[in-house]
Amino acid sequence: MNRKIRSSTPLRIRNEIAIAALLLTSTAIFAAPPTGSLNSVAPPKIYHYSAAIQATAAKQGAVTALGIQWQCQGARCTASGPWPKPGVAACKALAGEVGRIKSYGYKGAQLNAAQLGECNATASAATAPSGGAKQKAPAIATQIKPSSRAQAGPQPEPPTRPVVPRQSAAGPAMAPALPAPGIRPGSTPSGSPGGFGSAPPRGAAETIREAAAGIGSRPVIDRVTDSDGLSCSRRDFTVTGRNFGAEAGSRRLMFMTPVRHTPIRAVFGVYSWSDGRITAQLPERSFVLPGQRYVVAMVDERNNPISNTTRELRVCPTQFTAVGDIRVTNCGAGAGNVRVRAFREGRQIGSTMGQGVPGNDFAIRYEMNLPPSTSSDEVELRPELVGITCTGGAWVPERGTVRLSYDQSRATRAFEFRVGMQTRRIAMRIVSGLVQSAFNGTQIRINNYDPATRRTRENDSFVRLSDALGGTERRFNIGPAVSGPRKYYINDINLASTRVLPAENELRVAMVFESNGTELIGTCGQDGWDLFCGAGAPDVQASIAVDIFFTLDRYYSRTAPISLSFSRVRVVPNVDAQADGLCRVVDLLCSAISDYRGLIRTIVESSFMNVLDTPAVRDQVAIALLPSLRGLRIGTLNSVRIEGNDLVLAYLTDFE
């Protein structure tokens, strides 16, 4: 029996040591609130915790509980750290130091009643303020209880007395000392028997994660900053942290893309390297893009990251940019007539001309690249017209200020140039004279008769516009009229006169035609015979007149300036032919001549329309009338209308 007792005692001691180790490990893992990957060393946000003590805190001032630094004053303790979720284990550790806690957490996240009960489970009068007679319980056995998350089954009760390690002949053999959070394996802080003691003042979440994972010597990058104190780096930057090594050795810095962490194969110029600080130079600009962010990491000789990959550096832009739209109201200025100049502290630093916008002939836009500066963020922009004068116009605003910096390297400012509209009335007779001048020289011929053969001459009719209207020529063909054995031809009818007259809201171009002989020549062929063919086919007198009606309007195209032209054209031919008394004797002949008049009208109308109703002729009319408008001091037209006997023009005086 005594042998069994002696043999079981070491076993119980070993169990107690194992339980203590388990308690410490589980507490180190679950005590602190932070969550996330072990590789994520840098917390994204700081939370401000507050703990309300039921009585005056047993300890005042700086209090360390589970590696967390608290400041306690009266019945309230505060701490800050990267813990998004209040932890029961951390609350329990604080309660063991200062007394029972009635609220724990930060604004928006507090422990509930059940969690506070678990938090205060080990707090007692032993933690009352100094002056109480009760003694604090043993450090491990009564203050640290395994987290509920680590309890896979029934757990043995914690020992009620301090754990006594086994002895050997060689001397006392301590239980394997597990490192406290933030303490490297193999080191023991002073005043901490058995290796258990307060963690150094570092981020509690980071410390616990490193201790749990055994990565205390892993390089950790805390900050990456520009050496000149800018929010981005123009050339030199500084990396601060710990565990970099006294020398670089096989380690080196590397840029990675922020999302996928794709390595940027670039060579850094390193000025200095120490265990907690590295000063380096950006890679060549061909490897990095201005204005972009990159992750800065430390890699080994195989380019594998050996540090955290959570710190970024933004490369400074190499130029600032000012852009904007320019609107021109009641002024004929185009993109080539607008210039914007930039000034910084009274000195000009840039200038650019306006640019057209594809698909919008009236839109103007500017974009100007400017040199960066750290002396002043303000840049003054001054728009101006070049090569054109728009009387009475003004810029709104007259000048504009934008703020450009390395934090905001692109700014927008819009401008508008406004001019008041002017109106002028011109008598329609004056306008008729201008259009008359444009039509002078126009030739029209209608013919399909060949006197030499007394047969058809094909394609001998044409419309040839004046040089002022572009000189366009169009030929057309009119066949003979056939009635039994008789045929009638049009004989050399030509334009004799042109008059341009006002006609309500239009201009009427009246054209009168004459022939050098009889207008309609009749022949009687041998391929047919009727009662009256023996008498021949009498020639017929005919008269032809054509009225062309134009609707005037403001006109603009890619190949013509803004001017006066026509928007609509109508052609009304008038053909009159009469065979004297023969129609009363031979009804068939009269019908043929009447049909022939209709055919002539149709062909003349379509031929004239095909020539006149085209963009080319409208362009020529606009070009031909522009010098006359300029002579009347009429600038760019805005609108055109007819009121009574006057043509009313709304325009801008925008020419020099």
Q: How far is 161 from 400, CA to CA, in rounded Å? A: 80
Q: For residue 597, is pLDDT > 60?
A: yes
CATH number of 220-314: 2.60.40.10
Q: Where exactly are the structural domains of the chain?
A: 11-163+203-210, 220-314, 320-418, 425-642
Instruction: Write the CB contacts of 612 (distance below 8 Å, at least 6 apart in sequence).
Output: 548, 569, 571
Q: pLDDT exceeding 70 applies to what percent of the chain?
A: 73
Contact 283, 294 (CB under 8 A): no
Contact 539, 520 (CB under 8 A): yes
Q: For residue 271, is pLDDT > 70?
A: yes
> How confident is the model over 57-71, as a mean pLDDT?
89
pLDDT tens across 364-382, in order? 999 999 999 888 889 999 9
Task: Specify which residues 273 forms β-bridges with.
Answer: 278
pLDDT tens across 475-493, in order? 888 888 776 677 878 888 8
Q: For residue 278, is pLDDT > 50?
A: yes
Exposed/middle/buried for 419, CB within 10 Å: 0-12, 13-18, 19+?
buried
> Against a cut of 0.95, is the pTM above it?
no
- Say what the alpha-carbon torsion angle 582, 586, 589, 593 is, to the nearest 10 degrees: 50
Q: What is the per-residue pLDDT for 128?
A: 46
The three-point CA angle 29-35-39 to 5° equals 85
Q: How many other C-beta atoms lie within 10 A of the C-beta of residue 504?
A: 8
* Phi, psi (degrees; rounded to nearest 5) at 114: -65, -40
pLDDT tens across 517-531, in order? 777 777 776 544 444
Q: Do domains 220-314 and 320-418 have the same CATH topology?
A: yes
Closest by CA to 366, choosing from 348, 346, 384, 345, is 384
Q: What is the per-residue pLDDT for 348?
A: 96
Q: How far is 116 from 119, CA to CA, in rounded Å? A: 5
Q: Which DSSP state fits 32?
A: S
Closest by CA to 239, choosing from 290, 307, 182, is 307
Alpha helices in 203-336 (DSSP H): 204-213
> How confident is the model over 80-109, as a mean pLDDT?
91
Which of the listed CATH numbers 3.30.420, 2.40.320, 2.60.40, 1.10.10 matches domain 320-418? 2.60.40
Exposed/middle/buried for 400, CB within 10 Å: 0-12, 13-18, 19+?
buried
Q: Which range has the top average pLDDT, 197-201, 438-442, 605-609?
A: 438-442
Q: What is the per-residue pLDDT for 421?
A: 79
Q: For residue 22, is pLDDT > 60?
A: no
User: For residue 577, what pLDDT band results from cuts at 50, 70 and 90?
Assistant: low
pLDDT tens across 128-161, in order? 444 443 444 333 333 333 333 333 333 343 444 4
